[in-house]
Amino acid sequence: MEPHKLIDMVGENEKHPLASLMELVGVLIEQYENLYVAEL
């Protein structure tokens, strides 16, 4: 599944069955960016 499709499915619905997965993916992306992506 492509990431934008997950966002489209869940949207703002915190009770969606995939909401916790979307939150986890967001946290992991943020951690990755903090470690490996240089700020401009």
pLDDT of residue 38: 84
pTM of the full structure: 0.73
Indicate the number of domains in the chain.
1
Q: Report the Cα 28 to chain-centroid distance in Å.
A: 8
Query: Over 80: is that where the pLDDT of 40 sits?
Result: no
Encoded tokens for 17: 């069955």
- Quote the domain boundaries for residue 14: 3-36
pLDDT digits 0-9 by tens, 1-35: 676 888 899 999 999 999 999 999 999 999 999 99
pLDDT of residue 1: 64
